[in-house]
């Protein structure tokens, strides 16, 4: 038997070894007697606080055997083992939503977000000049140009197709500022050609091609930029005012010029084509100034290229006052989520997700082209020919352009309040009913009500298709957005070319009278409502067919 001196030393006791088993008399709680102190067993509580255990005891817990097929998860160095034993994973908390505040009052919203419209001023002027050439191509021109070759009548549309096809290959190669500057320069050159010549068909053809290329090249980058820099509660208004309202304003200006300045058959000094060229040159020069001084690159593109600081500065300059506040951080976080989700989509999956939206928007834009085609000019001409007075016939064109412009203005103002889908459905059903009314009375040219119905038709057409600009800006995935916007615009231009080369038929309004109600019924189930939604939410709503 070994002696005690060979035993290991005893481990020291935990806590205070001199802690008393009972509290001294002078440490009693105030207001308590000795009896009450022992009644509440404070001495036992003190012993629990200061245990007299001399050796810590280790407790071993026996775990149940894991189920068959269990494989322990891979662990990184320094991490604790995570044993789940086949049990379901606990539910993950939902991602926190990013809150962006919508200012109260239309005036406050416009004042705060005015820099977003200033960025798009140059593109707006380009599209106004394009609208003037659209009106000229469908027939609103001098009588001396009544019998033109088919090539000259569709020259602007061909140029726009060329520009749109080139634009589809430039989403990441050329900055949007450079594209806008180049397009403004083309508009300036086309205006100088038109203003410096008189009835020169070669110069006129070149001017139409240059202006068409400028508009086709600028449309896809501009709509993509408008959707990415606009706040969620004003995206519809900004997109519609930039594209549809600008084109319709150009159509109205050309109708006004061709009506008021054609004083004679061979007008020399103040012919409409020369005024058209002067205005186009002015628009191109102002576009160069605006693009140089006011243009801001898309914060989404900056984030996609890894330039976070530049994106934050761009968002700061897109609102008033020009400070980095909570609104800027909220938009930055939302754009980061938008870029991150789209980067996870491969090009093939982006193409598949964009196909339903492409089908819907091609139908809408084709109907938009039908509503302002050469058949419409022919209908206005026939309905206004009840009077043998030349001036009375031409002055009836002005209400046509006024109603088209007024419809776009109305839709721009209420698009972010009542929604895009409601305005589109209202315009479609009204246009369908009016088309049947026009068709039923079109064979009676002495009936003056056809002219009024044509003007009201243009009013509701402006209402119906204003929302298509916003849809184009928010429907397609980021990787293929600019490509699909360009192809959608090409489809619209092809419809205009086909109608311009077809023979005039009196059954035209019966055909569109059946198409518009059919599209209205389909749009009730297929067209989503993207009012006051972020780009991420809008893109998700367009993924399905219904």
> pLDDT, tens digit, for every residue of 232-248?
999 999 999 999 999 99
Asked whether 86 and 67 are in contact (CB, 8 A), the reply is: yes
Helices (H) and strands (E) in the chain, counts: 25, 0
Does pTM top 0.85 for this prediction?
no
Asked whether 180 and 293 are in contact (CB, 8 A), the reply is: no
CA atoms within 13 A on the CB side of 412: 20
Measured between alpha carbons, how far apart are the two ends of the chain, in Å? 91
Closest CA to 254 of 222, 280, 291, 229: 280
Provide the sign of the torsion angle of the four alpha carbons 160, 166, 172, 173, taken in this order: negative
What is the rounded distance in angstroms from the CA atom of residue 21 to the CA atom of residue 16?
11
pLDDT at 174 over 80: yes
Q: What is the mean pLDDT of residues 184-202?
A: 92
Least confident of 54-63, 266-275, 390-399, 501-510: 54-63
Closest CA to 413 of 255, 244, 218: 244
Task: Give tens-digit pLDDT for 529-539.
Answer: 999 899 999 99
Max distance between CA atoms of the chain, in angstroms, equals 140
Question: Distance from CA of residue 287 to its chain's centroid?
Answer: 22
DSSP tag of 466: S
Burial 218-235 (b: 16+ CB within 10 A, else e): bbbbbbbbbbbbbbbbbb
Task: Give tens-digit pLDDT for 98-133.
Answer: 556 666 667 788 888 899 999 999 999 999 999 999
Asked whether 439 and 507 are in contact (CB, 8 A), the reply is: yes
What is the rounded distance in angstroms from the CA atom of residue 319 to the CA atom of residue 445?
54
User: Peptide bond preceding 321: is omega within 30 degrees of 0, i.e. cis?
Assistant: yes
For residues 92 and 381, the model is more confident at 381
Closest CA to 129 of 275, 339, 10: 275
User: Peptide bond preceding 234: is omega within 30 degrees of 0, i.e. cis?
Assistant: no
What is the rounded distance in angstroms from the CA atom of residue 72 to the CA atom of residue 408?
64
What is the rounded distance in angstroms from the CA atom of residue 503 to the CA atom of residue 265?
26
Task: Give tens-digit pLDDT for 337-348.
Answer: 999 999 998 999
Domain boundaries along the sequence of the chain: 106-541
Which pLDDT does position 386 carry in this prediction?
A: 61
Nearest 5°: CA angle at 319, between 317 and 320?
Answer: 105
Architecture of the domain made up of 106-541: Up-down Bundle (1.20)
Q: What is the mean pLDDT of residues 246-255?
A: 96
Helix 244-260 × helix 121-138 angle, to 10°: 50
Which pLDDT does position 11 carry in this prediction?
A: 47
What is the rounded distance in angstroms from the CA atom of residue 270 to the CA atom of residue 525?
51
């Amino acid at each position: 038997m070994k002696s005690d001196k060979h035993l290991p030393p005893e481990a020291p006791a935990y806590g205070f070894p001199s802690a008393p088993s009972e509290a001294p008399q002078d440490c009693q709680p105030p207001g308590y007697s000795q009896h009450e102190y022992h009644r509440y067993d404070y001495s036992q509580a003190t012993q629990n606080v200061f245990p007299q255990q001399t050796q810590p005891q280790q407790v071993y817990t026996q775990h149940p055997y894991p189920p068959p097929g269990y494989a322990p998860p891979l662990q990184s160095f320094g991490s604790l083992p995570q044993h789940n034993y086949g049990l379901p994973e606990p539910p993950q908390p939902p991602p926190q939503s990013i809150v962006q505040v919508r200012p109260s009052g239309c005036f406050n919203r416009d004042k705060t977000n005015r820099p977003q419209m200033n960025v798009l001023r140059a593109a707006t002027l380009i599209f106004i000049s394009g609208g003037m050439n659209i009106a000229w191509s469908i027939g609103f021109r001098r009588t001396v140009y009544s019998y033109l070759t088919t090539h000259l009548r569709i020259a602007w549309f061909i140029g726009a197709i060329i520009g749109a096809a080139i634009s589809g290959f430039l989403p990441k190669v050329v900055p949007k500022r450079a594209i806008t500057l180049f397009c403004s320069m083309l508009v300036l050159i086309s205006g100088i050609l038109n203003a410096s010549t008189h009835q020169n068909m070669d110069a006129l053809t070149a001017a139409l091609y240059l202006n068409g290329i400028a508009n086709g090249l600028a449309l896809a980058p501009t709509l993509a930029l408008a959707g990415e820099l606009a706040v969620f509660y004003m995206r519809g208004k900004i997109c519609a005012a930039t594209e549809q309202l600008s084109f319709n304003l150009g159509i109205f200006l050309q109708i006004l010029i061709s009506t008021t300045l054609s004083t004679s058959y061979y007008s020399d000094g103040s012919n409409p084509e020369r005024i058209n060229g002067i205005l186009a040159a002015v628009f191109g020069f102002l576009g160069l100034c605006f693009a140089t001084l006011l243009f801001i690159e898309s914060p989404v593109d900056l984030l996609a290229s890894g330039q976070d600081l530049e994106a934050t500065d761009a968002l700061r300059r897109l609102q008033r006052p020009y400070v980095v506040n909570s609104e800027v951080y909220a938009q930055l976080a939302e754009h980061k989520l938008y870029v991150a989700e789209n980067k996870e989509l491969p090009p093939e999956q982006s193409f598949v997700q964009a196909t339903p939206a492409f089908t819907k928007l091609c139908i809408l834009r084709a109907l938009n082209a039908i509503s302002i085609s050469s058949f419409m000019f022919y209908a206005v001409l026939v309905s206004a020919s009840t009077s043998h007075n030349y001036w009375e016939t031409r002055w009836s064109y002005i209400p046509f352009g006024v109603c088209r412009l007024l419809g776009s203005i109305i839709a721009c103002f209420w698009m972010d309040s009542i929604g895009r889908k409601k305005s589109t459905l209202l315009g479609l059903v009204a246009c369908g009913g009016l088309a049947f009314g026009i068709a039923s009375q079109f064979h009676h040219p002495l009936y003056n009500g056809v002219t009024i119905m044509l003007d009201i038709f243009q009013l509701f057409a402006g209402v119906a298709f204003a929302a298509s600009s916003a849809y184009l800006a928010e429907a397609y995935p980021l990787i293929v957005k600019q490509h699909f916007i360009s192809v959608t615009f090409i489809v619209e231009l092809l419809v205009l070319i086909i109608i311009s080369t077809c023979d005039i038929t009196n059954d035209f309004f019966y055909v569109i009278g059946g198409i518009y109600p059919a599209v209205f019924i389909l749009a009730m189930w297929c067209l989503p409502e993207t009012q006051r939604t972020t780009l991420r939410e809008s893109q998700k709503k367009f993924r399905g067919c219904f």
